[in-house]
Amino acid sequence: MKVTSPSHDSSSGPSTASPHPAAHDLLGRRSRRLEAVIEVAIRASAFGVIAALLLIFVFIGKEALPVFYSEEVRQEVDMRRLFLPLKLDGGSGFVWQPVATVPKYSLLPLFLGTLKATVVALVISVPIGIGTAVFCSEFAPQWLREIVKPVVELLAGIPSVVIGFFALMVLASWLQSAFGWGVRLNAITAGIGLSLAVIPIVFTVAEDALTAVPSSYRDGSLALGASTAQTAWRVVLPAALPGIFAACVLGFGRAFGETMIVLMASGNAATMSLDPTQSFRSFSATIAAEMAEVSRGSAHYHVLFFIGALLFVLTFLANFFGHWYVSRLRAKLQGKTR
C-alpha cells in the first residue's frame, strides 16, 4: 500500500520558518474550502438517492392523479369504472378495451392476469429456490457449492428479454406439444419463464438467512443424535423462517413487476379467467405495449400511469416488508447467540 504523506500538499512544512503561526496549518485556506465543497457534494449525492425515489413517486403520481379529479379524463374513466363491473350490451362485466368507440378501462382482467402468472411463478420458484438454498447451506460439499452459486448468479444476470425469448420461442412450443394446450402462450408458460427470473432472488435471500443461523444450533442438534436432514428440517429451517418468508415476499415483488418476460410470453389477451392455460395480459405488459401509442394527456395515458403507480406501490410494500423481515431475523439470531 502506498501511503502518501498528507503534509506534502502545502509547501509550508514545518522546516520552512514562517512568521505567522497559522501557516503551520497543514491545509491552506483554499484546500480547506475545496474540502468543504467535496463534503457537500458527497452529502448531496446521498440525498440524491432518497430524492430519486421520492421523484419517482411524485412524477408517476402526478400523471396518475388526473384519474381522480380531471373532468376531461373522468368523462371516460373514474374509480368506479376502473374497479367495478361495467355496463355492457349484454349485461355487465369487466373489460379492458382502451381503443374503442367507448373505451373500457377495467383493471380487474389485468390484475387477474398478473396474479395468475405471479402465482405460477412462485409455485415453481419458491420450492426450487429454497430447496437449492437448503442444499447449498446444509448438504452440499464445498466444491459443489462453488459450482451452484455462480450458476445461480449467472442465471440472475441473464437479461429478462432473453428469458422472454426462450419462453416464447422454445418453452411455449415444447409445453404445447407435451400437454396439447389450445393456447400456445398462456400463464403456465409465462410463469415458468418468470420463475427463471425469480429463482435467483429467492435463492440468494433464503441462503443468506440459512447461513445466518449460528452453527451452535446445528452442533446442538447433531450432538443430540439428529441426522443432517433432521437438523436441516427441524432446526435450521424453522430458525431461518422469517428470512425464508422474506425470500418469498421479495420474489413476489419481482414477479409482479417483471415486464419483458410477460410481454413476450403471455399472449397479451385481457381475459377474465383464472385458468392458467389461457392467455392473459399483465399490468406491466399493458404499460409496455400501449405507452408508445397513447397521446399525452388522454384518459388512456393517465390510466397507464395509474397502473404504474399501482405497480410502484405494491412492489414498494413487498420490498419494504421483505427487507424488514430480513433485518428482524438478523437481530433475532444475533441477539440469541450473544
Partner 1 sequence: MRWLKSISFGAICALATTIILAMVAILIGDVVWYGRERLTFEFITARPRMGITEGGVFPAIVGTVFLVVLMTIAVVPLGVATAVYLNEYARRDSKLVLAVRLAIQNLAGVPAIVFGLFGCGFFILFIGRGIDVAGFGGRLVFGQPCILWASLTMALLTLPTVVVATEEALRAVPQVYREAACALGATRWQVVSRIVLPQSVGGILTGAILAVSRGTGEVAPIMFTGVAYLLPYLPDKLTSQFMHLGYHIYVLATQSPNVEATRPLLYSSVLLLLILTFALNLTGILIRSRIRRRLRTG
Stretch 158-217 residues interacting with partner 1 (CB under 8 A): 158-166, 168-170, 196, 199, 203
Instruction: Name the region of 91 (left: φ>0; alpha: ψ -120 to 50; beta: rest).
Output: left
The reply to whether 5 sits near partner 1 by the rule CB under 8 A is yes
Residue 110 in grid coordinates: 389485468
The reply to whether 134 sits near partner 1 by the rule CB under 8 A is yes
Which residues in 71-100 contact partner 1 (CB under 8 A)? Answer: none
Report the C-alpha gap between 326 and 243 in whole angstroms: 5
The reply to whether 26 sits near partner 1 by the rule CB under 8 A is yes
Nearest-10 Cα torsion for 164, 169, 174, 177: 120
Rounded to a whole number, what is the largest CA-CA distance in the chain? Answer: 98
Q: Which is nearer to partner 1, 220 or 297 (CB)?
A: 297
Q: Which stretch binds partner 1 (CB under 8 A): 60-68, 73-81, 92-100, 175-183?
A: 60-68
Which whole-number Å values give the CA distances from 58 to 61, 302, 308, in the listed order?
5, 14, 12
The reply to whether 140 sits near partner 1 by the rule CB under 8 A is yes
- Buried b or exposed e, range 157-167, using 16+ CB within 10 angstroms: eeebeebbbbb
Shortest reach from residue 64's CB to partner 1, in Å: 9
The reply to whether 49 sits near partner 1 by the rule CB under 8 A is yes
Report the C-alpha gap between 282 and 263 in whole angstroms: 8
The reply to whether 2 sits near partner 1 by the rule CB under 8 A is yes
Q: Which stretch binds partner 1 (CB under 8 A): 55-63, 70-78, 86-94, 214-222?
A: 55-63
Q: Which is nearer to partner 1, 77 or 136 (CB)?
A: 136
The reply to whether 233 sits near partner 1 by the rule CB under 8 A is yes
Shortest reach from residue 84's CB to partner 1, in Å: 25
Which whole-number Å values give the CA distances from 119 to 191, 206, 261, 274, 309, in the listed order?
8, 19, 15, 11, 21
Shortest reach from residue 333's CB to partner 1, in Å: 19
The reply to whether 136 sits near partner 1 by the rule CB under 8 A is yes
Nearest-10 Cα torsion for 259, 151, 116, 305: -20
The reply to whether 155 sits near partner 1 by the rule CB under 8 A is yes
Q: Which stretch binds partner 1 (CB under 8 A): 72-80, 97-105, 106-114, 144-152?
A: 144-152
Shortest reach from residue 324's CB to partner 1, in Å: 10
The reply to whether 154 sits near partner 1 by the rule CB under 8 A is yes
The reply to whether 298 sits near partner 1 by the rule CB under 8 A is no
The reply to whether 50 sits near partner 1 by the rule CB under 8 A is yes
Kindly determine how many residues on this chain lie close enough to bind partner 1 according to the rule CB under 8 A: 100
Phi, psi torsion values for 152, nearest 5 degrees: -65, -35
Which whole-number Å values give the CA distances from 123 to 140, 183, 239, 248, in the listed order?
24, 21, 22, 10
Judged by CB under 8 A, the residue of 183, 247, 311, 329 near partner 1 is 311
Q: Which stretch binds partner 1 (CB under 8 A): 71-79, 206-214, 271-279, 306-314?
A: 306-314
Judged by CB under 8 A, the residue of 186, 204, 278, 284 near partner 1 is 284
> Where do the H-state alpha helices sit in 65-90?
66-69, 71-74, 79-83
> Where do the H-state alpha helices sit in the chain?
29-64, 66-69, 71-74, 79-83, 108-134, 142-157, 160-166, 172-179, 187-212, 215-223, 228-230, 237-239, 241-257, 260-265, 283-290, 299-337
Report the C-alpha gap between 307 and 311 in whole angstroms: 6
The reply to whether 123 sits near partner 1 by the rule CB under 8 A is no
Q: Which is nearer to partner 1, 92 or 227 (CB)?
A: 227
